Structure 1
Amino acid sequence: MTRTRSATLTTPDGTHLAHTDHHPDGRAGEPTGTFLLLHGLAGHQGEWDTLAARLSADGHRVVTYDARGHGASTRTPATTTRAAHVQDAATLIEDLDLAPVTLLGQSLGGHTALLLAASHPHLVKSLILIEAGPAGPSPDLPTQIATWLDSWPAPFKTLDEAEAYLGHEAWARGLEKREDGWYPAFDRTTIVETVAELATTAYWPEWSRITCPTLLIQGDHGTMRPDEPAEMLAHRPHTHHTRIADAGHDVHLDQPDRLYEAIRSFIA
């Protein structure tokens, strides 16, 4: 059994972060370990429900949260910088007493986790990156994201229609209901601004500074740059690396069982 508690934390800059604490129940003593799970751009914490339940069943305490600008957190925060996202995660870790924590992030959430492990090593026990790395710059990224968001035929009339378009039930579950249908639970401008620094900057120095055990997980049909994983391993040869068959960028949704087994093997 897992006990879950949802709450909201207010950061120093006034941003409200909606988070959920999945705590193992019925076990003696303290949890085996702690995890902080970070979702990707335009996503939400509910994407982790399946994985959080399985990790909690193994005796781990697991915290998920909606990043600033996403889900039930502040929709239009004062800033969307990489530093602000890193500080949000650090604030959660410190306020909820999670350290030393295993950071597990997908896509943009993985990038946040990477930067946090580099800048706050005392908070981090280990790092798991799903389809995320330090490569850049990516000048076309804001335009690509804007074009992608503008292509959504919102409002969706039903959740089934949304799932068929977006590709996963969890993505549809992140939408919000209004009188005329289902809409994205984010502000388009905020989402585009969130990737602004990735358009101009690479983060190889930060990657090289990380000292904790690290696992890089790729989807066989993911979207990482072809040469990025090899270069990551060249900078940090002790990084563990695995590819998940029949998975794209959303490894956690495409192949949740295979992802769980890869994580379980790594932390063992």
Structure 2
Amino acid sequence: MVWSEQVVVRAGVRLVCRDWGGSGPPVVLLHGLAGHAGEWDALARRLHSRYRVVAVDQRGHGASERHPRDVSRAAYVADVIAVADRLALRRPVLVGQSLGGHTALLTAAAHPGRVRALVLVEAGPGEPAPDRPAAIGRWLDSWPVPFPSRAAAAAFLGGGAVGAGWAAGLEEREDGWWPRFDRDVMVGSLAENARRSFRHEWEQIECPALVVLAQSSFVPGPEVDDMLRRRPATTAMSIPGTGHDLHLERPEVLHSLLAGFLEGLA
């Protein structure tokens, strides 16, 4: 194991991080909803020789506090700042996938002097979607837990690198393999996104930004067009043959794009 475990406690909430070390500029990796820090392992292995890399199990996820009372967007943002402060990550580059990208976006908007650059992987300001939390709840309810094995979970969760990445976040109990999150916490974490867009926050971002999208992207084309219209200096790229979990499908391609972006930062 190359990484070491770091624990940050903010307002009574325990946050567990995978610290990959490195002496270069800091990079913080933020997973998506129902995900875990280990999703970034393949990318982190490629980055940590040149950067100080930290992947966070966000509140309600993985090894972090499973039942936080506060699942607001502001709480997730404050956690990122707390991790940066406690681990001495000065002006990190924030890299986030899906809801983790949304957290990174809001952090960069709320703390412009604290973020060097922003990388959104399959993420954007979003549009109001009142039915999204219920849809996520139904999807999580469809999981046939406990899974009899990690391999069975990987097959159910899509197979290949994507299924393996999701299954790696499960925990083994006496009766099988279970998610390391609470279904209602996941649904609650989407409540604000369901009510409104965060286009205003996107416009407030002052740092360089890279948007990496899948060929079969969850981010609608009109939303991407609006993002680029509001921030014309944004760099946007698409990875062919990928879906929403492109960081699991093609970590080597994501690393290549990310490395080029990081090397170009002032």
Normalised-by-shorter TM-score class: over 0.9
- TM norm structure 1: 0.95
Equivalent-residue separation in structure 1 for 2:241 and 2:145 (angstroms): 29
Q: Which residue of 1 aligns with 2:36?
A: 44
Aligned residue pairs total 259
Equivalent-residue separation in structure 2 for 1:172 and 1:202 (angstroms): 31
Q: Which residue of 2 aligns with 1:14?
A: 12
Equivalent-residue separation in structure 2 for 1:52 and 1:257 (angstroms): 11
Q: Which residue of 2 aligns with 1:222?
A: 217
Corresponding letter in the other structure for 2:28: L
Mark the runs of 5 or more structure 1 residues left unpaired by the alignment.
25-30
Equivalent-residue separation in structure 1 for 2:113 and 2:86 (angstroms): 15
Q: Which residue of 2 aligns with 1:181?
A: 176
Corresponding letter in the other structure for 1:120: H
Match of 1:90 among 76, 81, 88: 81
Q: Which residue of 1 aligns with 2:106?
A: 115
Mark the runs of 5 or more structure 2 residues left unpaired by the alignment.
none
1:165 Cα deviation after fit: 0.8
Identity %: 45
Say yes or no: does 1:158 pair with 2:149.
yes
Residue pair 1:216, 1:242 contacting (<8 A) in 2 also: yes
1:94 is paired with a residue of what secondary structure? helix
1:7 Cα deviation after fit: 2.1
1:4 Cα deviation after fit: 2.3
Match of 1:205 among 200, 208, 211: 200
Q: Which residue of 1 aligns with 2:232?
A: 237
What do you get for the CA RMSD once the two structures are aligned?
1.0
1:32 Cα deviation after fit: 2.6
Q: Which residue of 2 aligns with 1:103?
A: 94
Corresponding letter in the other structure for 1:33: P
Corresponding letter in the other structure for 1:55: L
- TM norm structure 2: 0.95
Residue pair 1:39, 1:47 contacting (<8 A) in 2 also: yes
Residue pair 1:40, 1:108 contacting (<8 A) in 2 also: yes
Equivalent-residue separation in structure 2 for 1:4 and 1:175 (angstroms): 19
Superimposed CA distance per residue, residues 113-166 of structure 1 (whole angstroms, 9 cap, x where no aligned partner): 000000011110000000110121111111110011011111110111111111
Equivalent-residue separation in structure 1 for 2:141 and 2:2 (angstroms): 38
1:20 Cα deviation after fit: 1.6
Off by >4 Å, runs of 4+ in structure 1: none
Q: Which residue of 2 aligns with 1:195?
A: 190
Residue pair 1:246, 1:254 contacting (<8 A) in 2 also: no
Superimposed CA distance per residue, residues 200-241 of structure 1 (whole angstroms, 9 cap, x where no aligned partner): 011011000001000000000121122111100000000000
Structure 1 residues 68-83: aligned runs within 5 Å = 68-83=59-74
Equivalent-residue separation in structure 1 for 2:238 and 2:32 (angstroms): 19
